[in-house]
Structure 1
Amino acid sequence: MKKLWAIGLTAAVLLAGCGEEESAESKETTAGAEGSEDSKEVKQELMKFYMSIPNTINAVDADLNAFEMNQAEDTLPEGEELQAMKAAAIASAEEAANAVETVEIPAALEEQQEKFDTAFAAMIESYEMKAEELTKDASFEAADEKFGEADAILNELLVEQDLAASSIYNEVSQ
């Protein structure tokens, strides 16, 4: 289900980007060929890069997602099984934070470096907050809000390139 959601979201973003690209192309012809090529390259790199972020996180956050789903459905186990599940979720949250730290921003997007750094810092803090909460009562509202800050920054970058806004949080939390 998670993969279908990611594929559907990706297709929607690409279609929205292509539709916007067609209308932008007529405006860009008067601005000059060199400017439009740079803009097109940035837009393509941003899309590829944006779509790679949830893939990077999803490679390591399965145990955290399983805990959160069981918690939401009120089906968490008890005793030692719960402690083992929490330990796996903590490790998963820490791995997700580390995975975000290792994401390299493409050279074509270096003008947006500061915004990406801010968004990634919020994501990392969100996962660190989740790991900490798992040692307590596992309330993730503050961590989810922090991740929402990252989503807002990334959406701003998408909109600046005339691409449809999306949500990495939705793609990594299922």
Structure 2
Amino acid sequence: MKKLWAIGLSAAFLLTACGEEEAAEPAEATAGSEGSDDSKEVKQELMKFYMSIPNTINAVDGDLNAFEMNQAEDTLPEGDELQAMKDAAIASAEESAGAIDSIEIPAPLEEQQETIESAFAAMQESYEMKAEELTKDASFEAAIEKFGEADAMLNELLVEQDLAESSIYNEVSQ
């Protein structure tokens, strides 16, 4: 399901970007400025980069998602089975934080690097909060809110490049 969602979102981004690029090409061709080419490169790199973030996280967050889905459906097991599920979810949350740390920001996004790094820090903190909560009562509201801050920062960058807003949280929490 995650992959279908990612493919659908990717297609929407590509269609949005392609439509805007085709409409902008005649003006760019007559203007002949390098700034337009730089802007186009930034937009393309941002789109590719943005779509790679959930793919990186989804590679390691399966056990955490399974716990959260069971929790939401009130179908968590009991006893040793619950503890094993929590332990796997904790490891998954920690791996997710580490995966975010491993994502490299492409050179064309140099001007957006500070915002991206801040968003990544919020995402990592969110996963660390989830890992901590799993040792307690597993209430994830604060962690979800923290991830929402990251989504908001990244959406600002998308809007600046005339791309559609999205939610990485929705893509990684399924």
Q: TM-score range by the shorter chain?
A: over 0.9
Q: Counterpart of 2:95 in 1: which secondary structure?
A: helix
Number of equivalences: 174
Provide the C-alpha distance between the structure 2 equivalents of 1:79 and 1:4, rounded to a whole number of angstroms: 34
Provide the C-alpha distance between the structure 1 equivalents of 2:131 and 2:31, rounded to a whole number of angstroms: 49
TM-score scaled to structure 1, two decimals? 0.96
Provide the C-alpha distance between the structure 2 equivalents of 1:112 and 1:134, rounded to a whole number of angstroms: 33
Name the amino acid aligned to 2:90.
I
- Which residue in 2 is equivalent to 1:58? 58
Name the amino acid aligned to 1:151.
D
Q: Which runs of 5+ in 2 are unaligned?
A: none
Provide the C-alpha distance between the structure 2 equivalents of 1:39 and 1:49, rounded to a whole number of angstroms: 15
1:172 is the counterpart of 2:172:
yes
Deviations 1:67-94 (A, max 9, x none): 0000011110000000000000000000
- Which residue in 1 is equivalent to 2:17? 17
Q: Counterpart of 1:104 in 2: which secondary structure?
A: coil
Q: Which stretch of structure 1 is more off in the superposition, 12-21 or 136-145? A: 12-21
Conserved? CA contact 1:20–1:163, under 8 Å: no
- Which residue in 1 is equivalent to 2:38? 38
- Which residue in 2 is equivalent to 1:105? 105
Provide the C-alpha distance between the structure 1 equivalents of 2:95 and 2:127, rounded to a whole number of angstroms: 9
Q: Which runs of 5+ in 1 are unaligned?
A: none
Q: Which stretch of structure 1 is more off in the superposition, 18-27 or 3-12? A: 18-27
Shift of 1:131: 0.3
RMSD: 1.2
| Correspondence 1:92-131 to 2 at 5 A | 92-131=92-131
Q: Report percent identity of matched pairs.
A: 84
- Which residue in 1 is equivalent to 2:144? 144
Name the amino acid aligned to 2:105.
I
Name the amino acid aligned to 1:117.
E
Conserved? CA contact 1:90–1:134, under 8 Å: yes
| Correspondence 1:78-93 to 2 at 5 A | 78-93=78-93
Shift of 1:18: 1.7
Conserved? CA contact 1:29–1:36, under 8 Å: no
Provide the C-alpha distance between the structure 1 equivalents of 2:116 and 2:15, rounded to a whole number of angstroms: 24
Q: Counterpart of 1:137 in 2: which secondary structure?
A: coil
Provide the C-alpha distance between the structure 2 equivalents of 1:164 and 1:28, rounded to a whole number of angstroms: 21
- Which residue in 2 is equivalent to 1:75? 75
Name the amino acid aligned to 1:47.
M
Name the amino acid aligned to 1:140.
F
TM-score scaled to structure 2, two decimals? 0.96
